[in-house]
Chain A
Amino acid sequence: MKHTISVLVENKFGVLARVAGLFSARGYNIASLAVSETLDPEVSYMTIVVEAKDEKVLEQVNKQLNKLIDVITVTDFTKKEHIDRELVLAKVNYSSRDKAKLEAIFGKFVGKIIHHKADTAIIEAVGDQDQIKALLEELDKFGVKELVRTGKLAISN
């Protein structure tokens, strides 16, 4: 099962390596990771998505995260109410006659064409994981050439 974990850390060099090391040492792949400063520039916020093969191992990782000196708090959002969003940038095939069809998609999704050339458009879209998945299915019909994603951001509500 996929877990979304947020970690509030001291904004210092090496912290990301310490946090990532606890996952890699157990052979766990981090599915997505987003890190940035918070209101307090000395504190950073990480949102980590990880596929847990064994819940016990993940519980151990959470406890070990809490033990890191530079970690302030750890929250596993899996069983907690939260809002999550991800931003994607997609480069899709484009021709002027597709414009209307493409823009019709954004009736359903939060997004827009932010740049286009004769044969390519760059789409920006924001949504939760289900919305992003549905959007990508729509965009596939045009042909996605390149895709970048921020990884999930999560916040408690």
Chain B
Amino acid sequence: MKMTGSQILLECLKREGVEVVFGYPGGQILPTFDALYEYKGFKFILTRHEQGAAHAADGYARVTGKVGVCLATSGPGATNLVTGIANAFMDSIPMVAITGQVPTALIGNDAFQEADITGITRPITKHNYLVKDIKDLARIVREAFYIASSGRPGPVLIDLPKDVQVAQTEFIWPDEPKLRSYNPKYIGHPGQIKRAAKLIMESKKPILYVGGGIITSGASAELLELAEKIGAPVTWTLMGIGGFPSSHKQSLGMLGMHGTAYANHSIMDSDLIIALGARFDDRVTGRLDMFAPNAKVIHVDIDPSSISKNVKVHVPIVGDAKQVIVEFLKEIKYKPAVEDWLKHVEALKKKYPMGYKDKNKILPQYVIQQIDEVTGGDAIICTEVGQHQMWAAQWYNYARPRTFISSGGLGTMGFGFPAAIGAKLGSPEKTVFNIAGDGSIQMNIQELATCVENKINVKVAILNNGYLGMVRQWQELFYKRRYSYTPITSPDFVRLAESYGAVGIRVTKKEEVKSALQRAIETDNTVFIDFHVEEEENVYPMVPAGEAINNILGGLA
């Protein structure tokens, strides 16, 4: 049967198992939106900004593990996706972004709403395509989904000129893609795995340092088994949150710039770092030449370019975290002698506990703890970027993977709210919170309309301190309190929510926090909760940028 390019696109998306597409119409994508009219193959969610569509697709992908899909028109529609694509790229999130393009005959002519989006997104996509012939379209869509979701996942963009959307051809569903130049490696090298197992068995002070790769590869259960088998303490990156239960006795919480002091001291004192799906980011290692001076490093990563990029690695293993851990479990014959090490780590936990000094006003940390309590640690927590993000990472007890949705690598303010929309659609039975600051929430606040229109029930907890708090904190500590353009005004969030048809709650007293959260959860609507919190509360512990990670500011000790 002959089909148009637009019909082929929709048919391919449906066959790839797409449940929802986020997007925004425009001139050069009109034929595809015409095909979408009364289309029933998947749900389409109209956002209020293309950036919202990209982040929503990203949030959906993080919660479900499936490929998130967004759709926009050419030119400004496409460039508005760029931040969302870069965000997905930095955090290795599977995404397919589809953009309309001016007709092939006009490409390169500075036509109305033309942008070279494949050129613009080349360094922030895993791969991208300009479809010049309708006969290639079905194959390209299949390849795009395959590339986005395999190996180290990432975003793939398909640029679809208007004449290709309109052209007709026989639809043939292509075979599984085979690319001679792309063969992701999942199985670790057996010799290297043996060497790693030997190092683990002989270690005296091992530590498991785990990242987003644990979540991506679905290795939580295997990680738990490995941790319990070898008895090593476990610390994680921001992207690794939820990969290991935070209430487990071997858990050290997050490490790095705003990690727990005991996690940072533990990794510094360790003699073996077992890095699983983590990339030794500068926010984790601090000053590199002083990082974990006595530790050997086993580094497991699916991406060879992540290994030996920042730290010297003794046993590099390219492979999927889950598959490699399974092999580790077979090769590790006995538990290393870690008793003294664990005593040392316990002493560090006692010496440098996590805490904060109570104040009269509502403390943001307290709000997070209350969200943890009223949701029983079972919600999906999305965040924006800033102080609230770090508090959300520190003070909520994550028990399961894919429950903490946050912009790690790119650090995109405005990510959390649209991501929460995607998360809720991906996991409708769960309570979905977006923990935000008064700055971040204003970056994609227009998506309130998307929530209300589609009855996507998201709870937004705004930790409103009247500042761009994280930047203010740096100004306080490193720029002599010169608060340059960090005091920020906000609209009346309660009335703003109401004007969109959502519900707004303002909380100014500590004793109202819990009841407000309960009311928000019980409300069958999107709720903005405007918490007026302590203005100049800082995120501690903190390692100043460029310092060794055991050089820690703040904390109770």
Q: Is A18 located at the chain interface by the 8 A CB criterion?
A: yes
Q: Is A70 located at the chain interface by the 8 A CB criterion?
A: yes
Which A residues touch B130, using CB under 8 A?
A: 13-14
B181 near A10 with CB under 8 A, answer yes
Cα–Cα distance between A45 and B182 once the two chains are bound (Å): 17
A60 near B304 with CB under 8 A, answer no
Cα–Cα distance between A17 and B305 once the two chains are bound (Å): 20
Q: Is B537 located at the chain interface by the 8 A CB criterion?
A: no
Q: Is B147 located at the chain interface by the 8 A CB criterion?
A: yes
Cα–Cα distance between A25 and B123 once the two chains are bound (Å): 9
Contact with A along B292-309 (1 / 0, CB 8 A): 000000000001110011
Q: Is A69 located at the chain interface by the 8 A CB criterion?
A: yes
B118 near A14 with CB under 8 A, answer yes
Cα–Cα distance between A60 and B14 once the two chains are bound (Å): 38
B305 near A63 with CB under 8 A, answer yes
Which B residues touch A70, using CB under 8 A?
A: 127, 181
B304 near A66 with CB under 8 A, answer yes
Given contacts A14-B130, A60-B309, is CB(A71)–CB(B118) below 8 Å? no
A17 near B119 with CB under 8 A, answer yes
Query: How distant is A33 from chain B, measured CB to nearest CB, in Å?
Result: 17
Interface residue range, chain B: 10 to 19
Q: How many chain A residues touch the partner (CB < 8 A)? A: 19
Contact with A along B172-184 (1 / 0, CB 8 A): 0000000111100
Q: Which residue of B lies closest to A63 (CB)?
A: B305
Q: Is B205 located at the chain interface by the 8 A CB criterion?
A: no
Which B residues touch A59, using CB under 8 A?
A: 308
B122 near A18 with CB under 8 A, answer yes
Q: Is B388 located at the chain interface by the 8 A CB criterion?
A: no
Cα–Cα distance between A60 and B147 once the two chains are bound (Å): 21
B123 near A69 with CB under 8 A, answer no
Q: Is B322 located at the chain interface by the 8 A CB criterion?
A: no
Which B residues touch A18, using CB under 8 A?
A: 122
Query: How distant is A62 from chain B, measured CB to nearest CB, in Å?
Result: 9
Cα–Cα distance between A14 and B126 once the two chains are bound (Å): 14
Given contacts A10-B181, A60-B309, A63-B305, is CB(A69)–CB(B119) below 8 Å? no
Q: Is A72 located at the chain interface by the 8 A CB criterion?
A: yes
Q: Is A64 located at the chain interface by the 8 A CB criterion?
A: yes
Which A residues touch B309, using CB under 8 A?
A: 60
Q: Which of B277-318 contact A (CB under 8 A)?
A: 303-305, 308-309
Cα–Cα distance between A92 and B127 once the two chains are bound (Å): 46
Which B residues touch A68, using CB under 8 A?
A: 127, 181
Q: Which residue of B lies closest to A67 (CB)?
A: B305
Cα–Cα distance between A64 and B118 once the two chains are bound (Å): 18
Given contacts A10-B181, A17-B119, is CB(A69)–CB(B126) below 8 Å? yes
B179 near A21 with CB under 8 A, answer no
Q: Which residue of A lies closest to B182 (CB)?
A: A69
Which B residues touch A60, using CB under 8 A?
A: 305, 309
Which A residues touch B123, using CB under 8 A?
A: 21, 25
Which A residues touch B181, using CB under 8 A?
A: 9-10, 68-72
Cα–Cα distance between A59 and B309 once the two chains are bound (Å): 9
Q: Which of A71-100 contact B (CB under 8 A)?
A: 71-72
Q: Which of A22-45 contact B (CB under 8 A)?
A: 25
Which B residues touch A67, using CB under 8 A?
A: 303-305
Q: Which of B150-195 contact A (CB under 8 A)?
A: 179-182
B147 near A17 with CB under 8 A, answer no
Q: Which residue of A lies closest to B119 (CB)?
A: A17
Which B residues touch A69, using CB under 8 A?
A: 126-127, 147, 179, 181-182
Q: Which residue of B lies closest to A42 (CB)?
A: B180
Cα–Cα distance between A14 and B182 once the two chains are bound (Å): 17
Cα–Cα distance between A17 and B181 once the two chains are bound (Å): 17
Most buried by B among A63, A69, A71: A69
Q: Which of B99-135 contact A (CB under 8 A)?
A: 118-119, 122-123, 126-127, 130
Closest 6 pairs (CB-CB, A-B)? A63-B305, A69-B127, A72-B181, A69-B182, A63-B304, A64-B305
Question: Besides the contacts A25-B123, A69-B127, A69-B181, what 17 more A-B pairs have beta carbons closer than 8 Å?
Answer: A10-B181, A14-B122, A14-B130, A21-B122, A63-B305, A64-B305, A66-B304, A66-B305, A67-B303, A67-B305, A69-B126, A69-B147, A69-B182, A70-B127, A70-B181, A71-B181, A72-B180
9 contacts between A and B (CB under 8 A): A14-B118, A14-B122, A17-B122, A21-B123, A60-B305, A63-B305, A64-B305, A68-B181, A69-B126
